[in-house]
Amino acid sequence: MEFVNGKTRTCGLIGNPVEHTLSPLIHNTLSGFTGLNQIYVPLHVETGFLEDAVKGAYALNFLGMNVTVPYKSDVISYVKEIDPVAKNIGAVNTLVRMDGGYKGYNTDMLGLFRGMQSEGINIEGEEIILIGAGGAARAVAFLCAMKGAKQVYLMNRTLEKAELVANEINEALHLSCVVPMKLEDYGLLPDKKYLAIQGTSIGLHPNVEAAPIMDPQFYEKVHTGYDLIYNPEKTKFMQLVEDAGGKSYNGLKMLLYQGVIAFELFTGKSISEEQANKVHDKMMKAMKQHE
């Protein structure tokens, strides 16, 4: 964004905290690439002000918004319409302006899918281990089931949570592919090679020496490991996957593509993989500067 004038459209990120977000970098770079007169700003919203924030943004003619922690579920009460996929997941991270309010979408899940596609990682027909059953893992489990995974072993420290999520997804999609397991029972997994997705907060900076499973034997079963965490760039989980001969990826592309898809929804423009890769390089540089 070289300058702001009377015709500049505004988008923003609602959350608390928002101070370390990379979303302005993603969106403002894409505005530059597409030549749109549009700016994206962080919007710190205090507890209790979410409804005011959404209504205020609409009144102020904001084109669109992203929503982050802790408001992704609560914001559903304040949207005019909701995309069926976001409704199923129970979380909205993107608000797209429409007549009389905003329509809520979930681009986290679609972002992970596009990020995986760009790395050549398959979901359809795969046997998948998904570690975690929190907000992010729930969305990933939906994605895997919707995109035709053969089996999803949903492994969580608290078995009840994994059972709840697995039941919800199997019921919503009329499937039976999501199988809940207790994390410590990883030794019971059938002897095969899996795509393993790490969806817990274990290993996140500054606890960089931690992984949800430390046993090297587990990683013998993993052909590809995908960690939703992107800070550090290589998590302990990723290192353990590589030590056992597998390929590993971090969650930066997921973050990138949730932003790319939100930008496309806000503007109706399509972003090429080449443009997305340029944004990815800028994100990597920005993260290195903050180390």
234 binds ligand NAP (CB under 6 A): no
Cα 230 versus chain centre, distance: 11
251 binds ligand NAP (CB under 6 A): yes
- Smallest CA-to-CA distance from 245 within 264, 217, 268, 220 is with 220
Closest to ligand NAP by CB, 158 vs 176, is 158
132 binds ligand NAP (CB under 6 A): yes
- Smallest CA-to-CA distance from 183 within 234, 224, 230, 237 is with 237
Closest to ligand NAP by CB, 161 vs 223, is 161
261 binds ligand NAP (CB under 6 A): no
135 binds ligand NAP (CB under 6 A): yes
Query: Rounded to whole angstroms, how far apart are CA atoms 195 and 130?
Result: 8
Q: Which of 72, 103, 236, 253 is catalytic?
A: 72
Sole binder of ligand NAP in the list 83, 108, 126, 163 (CB under 6 A): 108
180 binds ligand NAP (CB under 6 A): no
Instruction: Identify any residues that bridge with 226 across adjacent strands, giving them in sequence order.
Output: 197, 249
Closest to ligand NAP by CB, 31 vs 200, is 200
Sole binder of ligand NAP in the list 129, 136, 141, 283 (CB under 6 A): 136
Our answer to whether residue 72 is catalytic in this structure is: yes
Tokens representing 156 are 């969580």
Query: Rounded to whole angstroms, how far apart are CA atoms 246 and 227?
Result: 13
Q: Is the dihedral of CA 283, 284, 285, 286 positive or negative?
A: positive
- The identity of residue 152, as a single letter, is V
137 binds ligand NAP (CB under 6 A): yes
Closest to ligand NAP by CB, 191 vs 281, is 281
199 binds ligand NAP (CB under 6 A): yes
Q: Cis bond leading into 216, ω under 30°? A: no
287 binds ligand NAP (CB under 6 A): no
Phi then psi dihedrals of residue 141, to 5 deg: -60, -40
The residues in 148-167 that bind ligand NAP, with binding defined as CB under 6 A, are: 156-158, 161
Cβ-Cβ contacts under 8 Å for 224 (sequence gap 6 or more): 121, 195, 196, 241, 246, 247, 248, 249
Tokens representing 55 are 């209504």
- Active site amino acids: 72
Q: Which residues bind ligand NAP (CB under 6 A)?
A: 108, 132-137, 156-158, 161, 199-202, 204, 212, 228-230, 251, 254-255, 258
